[in-house]
Structure 1
Amino acid sequence: MTHLVFFCGHAGTGKTTLAKKLIGPLMRASATPFCLLDKDTLFGGYSAAAMGMLTGDPNDRDSPLFLQHLRDPEYRGLLDTARDNLELGISALVVGPLSREVRERRLFDRAWLGIGTDVALRVVWIHTSEETAHQRIAERGNPNDAYKLAHWDEYRQRRFVPSGEICKDLVMFDNTAPSRADYEALLAHLVGEPHGSSAMPPVPV
């Protein structure tokens, strides 16, 4: 069985750092090869070239122009790449905000994803406080975040915390200051093992 795991959440929540920390233990626990598909790594260079040509700002990832014309093609390419790997027997850990897709529950729609019931599906919403996210974004100094920081009041309106029916089957993970036990509980859930299973490999902290 292959696995499709989504690490979703707003900027500054530590999605990529968490994915890199867990992918090794995840492969060992599931006995399955995984690829790590990060939206920014896959499409960052292309989008920088496109936005530089269109607006003169290669670091723009939050303006209305980007959101209306490039956001969805980036995500479709991300999902298409994941599906290609799954068809080859390689599980995928997909990293990206995907907030709209979580809100609309598209990531639980196997027909929309183009996957069968033979793929184990997990969706994780990684979150932290707005203040912590803002601090992390400012400290990492990524030029792609310049628009967010300059228009924070506008950007923060797009931040949301899943609740109600949206949370059905959605794994919530507080990435503010997780402990080893928190990492191992998440890992156990991702591979379908009961919490505290001795089969879980140790997670580095």
Structure 2
Amino acid sequence: MTHLVFFCGHAGTGKTTLAKRLIGPLMRATSEAFCLLDKDTLYGNYSAAAMRALTGDPNDRDSPLYLQHLREPEYRGLLDTARENLELGISAVVVGPLSREIRDRRLFDRKWLGINDDIAIRIVWVSTSEETAHARIVARRNPNDAYKLAHWDEYRQRRFVPSGAAREGLLMFDNTAPTTTDFDALLRAIVAESPT
């Protein structure tokens, strides 16, 4: 069975680091080939060029202009690339915030994703405290975070922790200080049989 595994969560939670840590064990556990599709890797340079042309700021990834005009095409392209790999029999690990798509339950909608029933969907919500995420964002010194940090109160309003119905079917992972046991448990949960 082919897998579509999402690592979602807000900036500074360690989504990419976690995905990179688990992709090798995932391939060994499932005997499947996996590709890693990170939104920032796929679209970072494109977004920088577009925002430089539109606003003069290549590092803008959080302003209303970016959110209204570039966010959706980036995510659509990310999911289209995952779907093309899945159609070729290659499992996909997809990394991106995808918070709207979690909130709206679109990542659980096979029709919206354009995938068949024979693909196992696993959605990992990666979290840390706001303080930890902020400290990590400051420490990594990524120019793309400048808007976020300069408008932290505005940005933090968009942060949410899935609860109630939005949490159903998610694999919740606290990435503040995980142990090997935590990583192993997450791996087992991803590869476990599920009606999803």
Does the residue aligned with 1:155 lie in a helix, a strand or coil? Answer: helix
- 1:70 deviates by 0.1
Question: Which residue is 2:151 aligned to?
Answer: 151
Superposition TM-score, scaled by structure 2 size: 0.98
Question: Which residue is 1:141 aligned to?
Answer: 141
Aligned length: 194
* Separation in structure 2 between the aligned mates of residue 136 and residue 107 of structure 1, nearest angstrom: 27
Does the residue aligned with 1:61 lie in a helix, a strand or coil? Answer: coil
**Unmatched segments (≥5 aa) in structure 1:** 195-205
* Separation in structure 2 between the aligned mates of residue 51 and residue 155 of structure 1, nearest angstrom: 19
The superposition leaves residues 45-67 of structure 1 with CA deviations (integer Å, 9 ceiling, x where unpaired) of 00100000000000000000000
Give structure 1 regions of 4+ aligned residues with deviation exceeding 6 angstroms.
none
Does the residue aligned with 2:153 lie in a helix, a strand or coil? Answer: helix
Residue 33 (structure 2) pairs with residue 3 (structure 1): no
* Separation in structure 2 between the aligned mates of residue 77 and residue 119 of structure 1, nearest angstrom: 19
The superposition leaves residues 104-155 of structure 1 with CA deviations (integer Å, 9 ceiling, x where unpaired) of 0000000000001100100010000000000000000000000000000000
Question: Which residue is 1:71 aligned to?
Answer: 71
Identity among equivalent pairs (%): 78
Question: Which residue is 1:82 aligned to?
Answer: 82
Question: Which residue is 1:16 aligned to?
Answer: 16
Does the residue aligned with 1:162 lie in a helix, a strand or coil? Answer: coil
Superposition TM-score, scaled by structure 1 size: 0.94
Residue 105 (structure 2) pairs with residue 102 (structure 1): no
**Unmatched segments (≥5 aa) in structure 2:** none
